Structure 1
């Protein structure tokens, strides 16, 4: 990334100093994003591991419920998300990542021991770490990234979530079922990215925004200069540093202090903060109501419901689903998020996801497929719709390039990923410094607690409701589309601090202010200051020029 980032960034990167795209920001992104691999393995491979005969034999169990193991991670994840806020605010972002990385390694190692109590304790501890890093990683990436590549770098965490985990199940299913190495290896793989994150975080630069918000402005400016590879007096660094300080100063003018009573008052008494909190938390709720966790945790069973034969074939089909998610996430991170934005394909992707769930509901209801024979034609279409569910966010970009639609109006309508990543970016982008950690913790607590509810409810819903499960997800996702249209603005190109100006507008009228002008991309008070400085410099130049002219004429 040393000389530029044309594949990653929006076209706006061309006006940015090339120095800001350097190995330090690349190293930071890679180190922090390893946390996503831990989350991804937890989502993707535990369901397959629990069905292995070797695992059941090692623990002396004929049947182990997924919910029994998943509820430990969900409980740990919920607690971890809440505990991450005070750690981030008082211990610091970097030290918090290191702490929870160490806890994850302990939890993952405990899961290698063939004792049910130790296994459950390991799941709980690992869940605590995963829950905390699910909040800390997007926060760390969002706070450190240049705004022209903020979306790409923040979503690299989500890219790691979908890496490999679905294929681990299929790979280990081919091993001899009598070997303990089968289940131990499947669970041990998560130690590799966890260890990489833990070790590499020691050499990562701590976030300037976190330091400045805690009163360490001198160190914050020093770290900002290191990250951007520019001197303190460079205009790019000066503007970014001024925006950060202006936001922190504005918060302190309203209410002194940083304790959580002040934070809660800020959220619920300052209208712009309340709007941000409502938008982010509601987006996470609709994110979960798409049914994504049902597919992640129970993909083999869902494929069997539409007629795919049980066993390795359903795991293979699940693996292909994971591969589609991985491919489209790579396309999103490298091409879409910072080139074409977040908003409209969130609508398009969510609509496709809802339609996929609607098809599955109607197919299961009226066709009543049987997985004991071959997969019927309608089931194959159902598989395709599930892949479209994962692929939906990419369709609009394909149309753009296939049809060569280059009108100004279309260029100004931004496209994005769908529900898979949008909540993570939103939570990392929109909150002011003092309430950021607490608000993000609440968002990810909702993420984990709803995940837990869905994990517990899905098997019952699939048994009792059957096709109605997918119909419910379809209806809720369509409702989410309406909410997104009216309330979700475009964040592409805006500085984190400029969100203060955006959320002065009513949440229900955000569709009128969705796409920023150039003036909207910078915090207004800093922009006014910059404009005034430019005018003063110009006036000073004109004054010196006039004085020099007078002296020259007198000499003549």
Structure 2
């Protein structure tokens, strides 16, 4: 799917050699993107599992006061995010010193261990399992988009990078429907909640096994000084010889960026990386943009909806139990359908910027409607779903539509494609740490927020999302069609004037240093060919 739909969707593919869209690229993309299932299953599982009578009885939630139950639910849901913040931080040194592939294998194994521990009906073991699985999910959330972006041809980089997000939404939807299915079972059996949580072991195990046969990323190898191996892997991945113009340009472009970085600073340590981010304006602009995108990504309230969708549907008048889980399942399907559309058609044809602006505006408006409806209609699930509540459900589905076209994907893609190789792992690690620590705070606070703030919870999300729309319009340029290395030139401009440079010309899609190097190489090859021809002619005359 990654190669086929992307080729169909992206106009730039027509000028690329057909050999680069091959089975090796497809296998790599599908394997690495499987990491998204770990995040999606957990998000979709835990909110519904918390409502299951068998789970509430197994972990004592049915015997607690409302306040204590809210606190424990928040702790259970947020434990994964706490681990995720730690995993995101340690992912950078793992990626830089162990390598991308080895790091994904380590985190994949940790995920399997953590999921297995969550099958035990003991609160302490369950907390530990969610923490360990969270560390793995946090690490993979940084490594997977990075790995995909570093190995993708630029004409389909958006589509391949967003495969990670597609698998998040696919697993999220499957988890919602799994919860609905088990809710119809015997409520006295622990098998009810154990199956809902245990299903995530399937994609986790598949990714771990398949990852052994994926190559190391050439860009990371070049930054580590292993240029011969990097060129070999690049040729293998692109299915082209080293002297092919496409491979030569891509290889020289990465080398030009790495050489430019090494002229500024020698060695590889994080103190120097931090200095590079703080003192080099183009780097600090990238860092600021990516960090703010992840903040606004969380401020939309998506974690509250993903983790506690059944309770939110009850707040707008949907009856509890299986009915809210069914409504939640439809919400997951809406996300899935429009994420497929985004990955297959939008991201590499329309780009990242315009869909994000439209999608975020729809999300903000949906949250505003829900806030106002709860405030003035005061709906109750005991009296059935009123007409305004049905409209509220529709707005939640519109929110899912906007999310799939906007914040669902954009921060991941942008963070994966704007940083130079030297600071990429550290910067992405910090961005995902920020993502997970805010996720932790929001997830832990959501049950109490909904109990104490009510409609104000959704008004807060609406206002923050509208602010995010304004930020994206001013500060986020379009990255469709640009090479990763060409962003060096783009971020010479102030972050607050990016709307003036939002859409690149053909010349701006390639790093200027690489163009000079490639032209020099071609000129040298032409001169050598002329000398050879002259020598042959002279021998013929003699």
Aligned to 1:397: none
Aligned to 2:91: 84
CA offsets per residue over residues 7-35 of structure 1, 9 Å max, x none?
55411001101110011111111111111
Considering Cα pairs closer than 8 Å and 6+ residues apart, tell me whether 1 or 2 has the greater RCO.
2
Contact 1:276 1:503 in 2 (8 A): yes
User: Using the alignment, how far apart are the partners of 2:333 and 2:240 within structure 1?
Assistant: 39
Unaligned runs of 5+ in 1: 395-416
Aligned to 2:166: 159
CA offsets per residue over residues 503-539 of structure 1, 9 Å max, x none?
1111011111111111111110111233345556678
Aligned to 1:109: 116
Corresponding residue to 1:463 among 445, 451, 458? 451
CA offsets per residue over residues 26-78 of structure 1, 9 Å max, x none?
11111111111110011111121122222233345525532121232121110
- Which runs of structure 2 are paired with 1:513-552 in the superposition (5 Å)? 513-534=501-522
User: Using the alignment, how far apart are the partners of 1:546 and 1:26 within structure 2?
Assistant: 46
Change (3 A) 1:45 1:200: same
Aligned to 2:38: 38
User: Using the alignment, how far apart are the partners of 1:75 and 1:217 within structure 2?
Assistant: 38
Matched, 1:296 2:288: no
Aligned to 2:406: 418
Aligned to 2:212: 202
Change (3 A) 1:4 1:470: closer
Aligned to 2:465: 477
Aligned to 2:155: 148
Contact 1:101 1:197 in 2 (8 A): yes
Matched, 1:239 2:239: no
Change (3 A) 1:426 1:547: same
Contact 1:7 1:335 in 2 (8 A): no
Aligned residue pairs: how many? 532
Deviates more, 1:5-14 or 1:282-291: 5-14
CA offsets per residue over residues 407-440 of structure 1, 9 Å max, x none?
xxxxxxxxxx211110000110000001100000
Q: CA deviation at 1:457?
A: 2.0
Change (3 A) 1:366 1:338: same
Aligned to 1:410: none
Aligned-pair Cα RMSD in Å? 2.3
Contact 2:477 2:502 in 1 (8 A): yes
Matched, 1:369 2:379: yes
Contact 1:2 1:22 in 2 (8 A): no
Matched, 1:437 2:425: yes
Aligned to 2:107: 100
Change (3 A) 1:31 1:142: same
Aligned to 1:388: 398
Instruction: Give SS of 1:233's match.
Output: coil
Q: CA deviation at 1:389?
A: 0.8
Contact 2:50 2:56 in 1 (8 A): yes
Contact 2:3 2:26 in 1 (8 A): no
Instruction: Give SS of 1:420's match.
Output: coil
Aligned to 1:448: 436
User: Using the alignment, how far apart are the partners of 1:295 and 1:60 within structure 2?
Assistant: 24
Instruction: Give SS of 1:340's match.
Output: coil
Q: CA deviation at 1:297?
A: 1.1
CA offsets per residue over residues 101-150 of structure 1, 9 Å max, x none?
00000000111112221111111100110010010110111111111111
- Which runs of structure 2 are paired with 1:329-348 in the superposition (5 Å)? 329-348=339-358
Q: CA deviation at 1:462?
A: 1.7
Corresponding residue to 1:68 among 51, 55, 75? 75
Matched, 1:214 2:224: yes
Aligned to 2:484: 496
Aligned to 2:18: 18
User: Using the alignment, how far apart are the partners of 2:213 and 2:529 within structure 1?
Assistant: 45
Deviates more, 1:453-462 or 1:73-82: 453-462
Contact 1:345 1:393 in 2 (8 A): no
User: Using the alignment, how far apart are the partners of 2:492 and 2:16 within structure 1?
Assistant: 28
Instruction: Give SS of 1:310's match.
Output: coil
User: Using the alignment, how far apart are the partners of 2:360 and 2:61 within structure 1?
Assistant: 40
Matched, 1:327 2:337: yes
TM-score by length of 2: 0.94
Deviates more, 1:530-539 or 1:13-22: 530-539
User: Using the alignment, how far apart are the partners of 1:333 and 1:291 within structure 2?
Assistant: 22
Aligned to 1:317: 327
Corresponding residue to 2:130 among 123, 134, 143? 123
Instruction: Give SS of 1:162's match.
Output: helix
CA offsets per residue over residues 454-502 of structure 1, 9 Å max, x none?
1122222222221111111111111111110111000001111111111
Change (3 A) 1:2 1:39: closer
Contact 2:104 2:140 in 1 (8 A): yes
